[in-house]
């Protein structure tokens, strides 16, 4: 079974209560593998092209001061959020736009999980994600946990949609590992979209026999729209976490996600951990 332990968890923050919730979730997940946590804040500076040399020097001085203030604020934020647990959290204040900073930090810290709070906003009669979160969701090379205003509590019910694809297998193995860590029940949900009835994938061979006893897994089959069934079941059963395989495909110069992934992340009543490929070997 794929271990639930992450080597390094990157948690970008913006000092909001939502990012505090994300940091608490990161701390909870870190206990599965005594992970290193890096809390980061991106502070962007770009001088207007029409500034004189003297005004530019003053602006740069002010920016350096703001970076120092941000470092103190970040340490205070982590301590007020995690209390004694803040001692094991590294803090980083970087100069850069949020998306670029998160991607660069993911690589430089060798993070194998990113945890982010996301501010939902309404538009076109459905919930959208914040623009930063949506780009990281499409572009992150590692799993991403999105948190939207959900208090961090014990993880007792994990929902993992399955469809037999490789990315679904990777997600399920991670969900099973988390289930073993938190002593949680993992529900493997297969949704038949209305075609001829098909048997759900045989997940018995997805977990080595010697590991199956470490987690509680139940299988459930529903019929209908996958995103709607995922959201409905998570709401009905009070799930604490959804672990979702998120296949990507290239479109022109970027990557796009399927509508099921986006709808589930946007509407989910609990945090969603998206997995786009096999877990990479952690760096020492």
Q: Please tell me the pTM assigned to this model.
A: 0.83
Task: Reply yes or no on whether the pLDDT at 150 is more than 90.
Answer: no
What are the tens digits of pLDDT across the range 43-95?
Answer: 764 545 555 566 655 555 555 566 678 888 899 999 999 998 888 899 998 88
If one counts every other C-beta atom within 10 angstroms of the C-beta of residue 273, the result is 25
Does residue 45 or residue 274 have the better pLDDT?
Answer: 274
> Cα separation of 121 and 119, whole Å?
6
Indicate the fold that domain 1-148 takes in CATH.
Answer: Rossmann fold (3.40.50)
- Distance CA(11)–CA(144), nearest Å, equals 10
Domain covering 154-284 assigned CATH 3.40.50.620 in the classification: yes
Mean pLDDT, the chain, integer: 80
List, in order, residues 6 or more apart from 33 with CB less than 8 Å away. Answer: 3, 4, 5, 6, 7
Q: Pseudo-torsion of CA 90, 26, 146, 98, nearest 10°?
A: 0
The residue among 191 and 211 whose pLDDT is bigger is 191
**What residue has token string 């946990």?**
145
pLDDT at 202: 73
154-284 shares the fold of 1-148: yes
The rounded distance, in Å, linking the Cα atoms of 93 and 63 is: 12
**pLDDT at 56 (0 to 100):** 52
For residues 225 and 200, what is the distance between their CA atoms, to the nearest angstrom? 15
User: Is pLDDT of 4 > 50?
Assistant: yes
Model confidence at 254: pLDDT above 50: no
pLDDT at 282 over 80: no
Q: In the chain, what are the domain boundaries?
A: 1-148, 154-284
**Share of residues in the chain with pLDDT > 70 (%):** 72
Q: What angle do CA 42, 45, 49 make, to 5 degrees?
A: 155
pLDDT score at 51:
56
Query: Does residue 199 or residue 33 have the better pLDDT?
Result: 33
* CB within 8 Å of 225: residues ≥ 6 apart: 191, 193
Q: What confidence tier does 40 reach under pLDDT thresholds 50, 70, 90?
A: very high
What is the average pLDDT across 257-272?
A: 84
């Amino acid at each position: 079974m794929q271990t639930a332990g992450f080597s390094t968890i990157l948690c970008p923050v913006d000092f909001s209560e939502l990012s505090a919730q994300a940091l608490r979730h990161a701390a909870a997940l870190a206990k599965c593998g005594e992970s290193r946590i890096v809390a980061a804040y991106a502070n962007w500076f770009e001088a207007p092209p029409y500034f004189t040399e003297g005004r530019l020097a003053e602006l740069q001085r002010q920016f350096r001061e703001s970076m120092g203030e941000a470092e103190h604020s970040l340490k205070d934020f982590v301590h007020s959020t995690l209390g004694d647990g803040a001692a094991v959290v590294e803090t980083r204040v970087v100069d850069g736009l949020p998306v670029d900073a998160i991607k660069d930090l993911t690589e430089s810290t060798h993070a194998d999980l990113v945890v982010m709070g996301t501010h939902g906003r309404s538009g076109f009669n459905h919930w959208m994600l914040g623009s930063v979160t949506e780009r990281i969701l499409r572009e992150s090379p590692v799993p991403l946990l999105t948190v939207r205003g959900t208090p961090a509590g014990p993880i007792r019910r994990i929902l993992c949609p399955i469809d037999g694809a490789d990315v679904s297998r990777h997600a399920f193995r991670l969900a099973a590992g988390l289930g073993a860590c938190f002593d949680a029940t993992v529900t493997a949900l297969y949704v038949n979209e209305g075609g001829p009835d098909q048997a759900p994938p045989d997940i018995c061979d997805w977990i080595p026999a010697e590991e199956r006893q470490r987690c509680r897994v139940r299988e459930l089959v529903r019929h209908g729209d996958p995103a709607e069934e995922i959201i409905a079941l998570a709401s009905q059963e009070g799930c604490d976490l959804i672990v979702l395989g998120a296949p990507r495909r290239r479109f022109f110069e970027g990557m796009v996600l399927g509508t099921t992934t986006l709808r589930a992340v946007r509407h989910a009543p609990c945090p969603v951990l998206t997995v786009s490929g096999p877990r990479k070997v952690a760096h020492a």
